[in-house]
A and B are shown apart, each in its own frame.
Chain A
Amino acid sequence: MSTEQPLPVIDHDSAPYWQAAHEGHLDIPLCGDCGKHHFYPRAICPHCHSDNLNFDTVSGRGEVHTFTVARRPAGPAFADDVPYVVALIELEEGPRMMSRIQTDDPEKVHIGAKVEVTFVKASDEITFPYFRMT
């Protein structure tokens, strides 16, 4: 990974999520009213608009909903990574999130592939949840 990888600008909505990822678990908001998880973290539930939300540690398991193999980098910071797989992961708990699939063979990635989270430290503050096929 290039050292110039753009890092997230953490805000009040996302701070607990990034903190948890840094500690090695995947925490996303769970609504106390409708009982649904959501991602990315917000101050109100996008399903029922309740603000009765708490972060919940989820399984880290899911499947590839869709993906692309980037053959051209998203700017110079990613030039060394090409080809790499950017995917939308559908978590077992429902929400979708963007991440990377860690693989030696991008051609093996397919829609529906089962994946689990793996954490990759990027800086003293930031650890990214990536996924691996299981």
Chain B
Amino acid sequence: MKNGRDPVIVGLADAPIEDGKFVTKASVLGHAALVAKAAVEEAGLTLDDVDGLLTAGMWGVPGPGQLATVTLGEYLGIMPTYVDGTNIGGSAFEAHVAHAAMALREGYCEVALIVYSSDQKSLRSRNLGGRPSVLSMQHETPYGMPTPVGGYAMAAQRHMHEYGTTSENLAEIAVATRKWAQLNPAATRRDPLTVDDVLSSTMISEPLHLLDCCLVTDGAGAIVMTTAERAKDLRTKPIAVKGYGEAHTHWAIAEMPDLARLLPAQKAGETAMKMAGVSHSDIDVVEVYDSFTITVLLTLEALGFCKIGEGGDFVSGQRTAPGGAFPMNTNGGGLSALHPGMYGIFLLIEATRQLRGVCGDRQVAGAETALVHGTGGTLSSGATVILQKD
């Protein structure tokens, strides 16, 4: 049952980076504005058409809640009448797509703009500590928990203990993802990578090595959504948002209900696939958050692409690499393409490009349906989006 108010993606943009850093000289908000402008213009719209603004970020004028949409709306010189500053970590943008879809269906906005920007690499602002020791974090930060890698390491340790998953299994993911990056001229790391390279890279937080971890880069991206009806007059071929779901369970890793199972992904995935009316065999391309190799393994199991505990086998033999049975993270992912702190918007951008069929050497032939899943915090939150070529 098609409806004129069905939500679609009509505009995309991401900022060029080189060696992980922005090429253009602009502030963090400047990069947000440049990609926002490029994304609306790609669709044949202008920023004045935008009435829905959705953003999340780690930037902001220090103060109550940082008021991300307010700060960005002012910078863009627009007065949005629908806003969403949901910040559940790197999966925020998949949730933004869901929220924008509902607002569009409801007639609460006509053109929704989702934006992210980070200059963390240029600022050299990352280390493994840093969460203030307040509220639930007073029971975590003082113990020297490497953040966020330590929480992912604890989950990996538990998964290995319960299911016999190995470091080699995890390394297969990093290697397959690198092969996709080698097909993507915009990816940051494109040199060849082997399982042995991953296993012999520096141990960061056992059992996770340096090459089990995502990159630290700058990055900015924007997505424009509107209704199917409005899209008829626009410049791009619309990609339909068919289903979505979201959930979160914990912030402190000690509160994760089951360290070897990713419940938010299970819940969000089920909701999204049911809404879209698709099953696993309908999915042609999968873009899932790869903050760490273990994130991917837990996500694939929770989404039901394989049974719980069988993720190690599922990714073995380079099944997720170019030419493999399960095309995944086709831009080179957070592990090899870019990872500007909150990566989720780039999953959506890559999935949409795959469905548009514009991915060149890395194009997945006949891609019609894509599943995107973001993970945020320390395996805290999950949000799934199902996209489809019309």
Contact with A along B187-216 (1 / 0, CB 8 A): 000000000000000111111100000000
List of A residues within 8 angstroms of B133 by Cβ: 6-9
14 pairs, A vs B, C-beta closer than 8 Å = A9-B132, A10-B138, A14-B139, A66-B161, A66-B259, A70-B146, A72-B128, A72-B205, A74-B129, A78-B129, A86-B146, A98-B139, A100-B143, A111-B157
> Known interface pairs A7-B142, A9-B132, A96-B254. Does A74 touch B147 (Cβ–Cβ under 8 Å)?
yes
Q: Is the CB of B136 within 8 A of A8?
A: no
> Known interface pairs A65-B259, A66-B158, A100-B144. Does A71 touch B134 (Cβ–Cβ under 8 Å)?
no
List of A residues within 8 angstroms of B141 by Cβ: 6, 8, 74
A interface residues with partner B (beta carbon < 8 Å):
5-11, 14, 39-40, 65-78, 81, 84, 86, 88, 96-100, 111, 122, 128
Q: Range of interface residues on chain B?
A: 35 or more
List of A residues within 8 angstroms of B128 by Cβ: 72-75
Q: In whole Å, how far is B125's beta carbon from the nearest beta carbon of chain A?
A: 12
* Residue from A11, A14, A70 in contact with B144 in the complex, judged by beta carbons closer than 8 Å: A70
Judged by a CB distance under 8 angstroms, whether B145 is at the interface is yes
Q: In whole Å, how far is B251's beta carbon from the nearest beta carbon of chain A?
A: 11
Residue of A with least CB distance to B140: A98
Q: Is the CB of A128 within 8 A of B158?
A: no
Stretch with Cβ within 8 A of A (4 or more), from B63-71, B148-156, B350-358: B148-156
Q: In whole Å, how far is B210's beta carbon from the nearest beta carbon of chain A?
A: 9
Judged by a CB distance under 8 angstroms, whether B360 is at the interface is no
* Residue from B138, B140, B158, B207 in contact with A65 in the complex, judged by beta carbons closer than 8 Å: B158
Judged by a CB distance under 8 angstroms, whether B253 is at the interface is yes
B interface residues with partner A (beta carbon < 8 Å):
127-130, 132-136, 138-147, 150, 153-155, 157-158, 161, 202-208, 252-255, 259
List of B residues within 8 angstroms of A99 by Cβ: 143
List of A residues within 8 angstroms of B153 by Cβ: 68
Q: Is the CB of A88 within 8 A of B205?
A: no
Q: Is the CB of B135 within 8 A of A73?
A: no
Please provide the 8 A-B residue pairs with the shortest distance between their CB atoms, ordered closest to farther: A75-B129, A8-B138, A68-B153, A78-B144, A69-B206, A74-B129, A66-B158, A66-B154
* Residue from B138, B144, B157, B203 in contact with A74 in the complex, judged by beta carbons closer than 8 Å: B144
Q: In whole Å, how far is A125's beta carbon from the nearest beta carbon of chain B?
A: 12
A60 to B150, CA, bound (A): 24
Q: In whole Å, how far is A44's beta carbon from the nearest beta carbon of chain B?
A: 14
> Known interface pairs A81-B144, A98-B145. Does A71 touch B161 (Cβ–Cβ under 8 Å)?
no
List of B residues within 8 angstroms of A97 by Cβ: 139, 254
Residue of B with least CB distance to A84: B144
Q: Is the CB of B146 within 8 A of A66?
A: no
A96 to B339, CA, bound (A): 31
> Known interface pairs A68-B150, A75-B130, A88-B254. Does A5 touch B205 (Cβ–Cβ under 8 Å)?
no
A78 to B142, CA, bound (A): 10
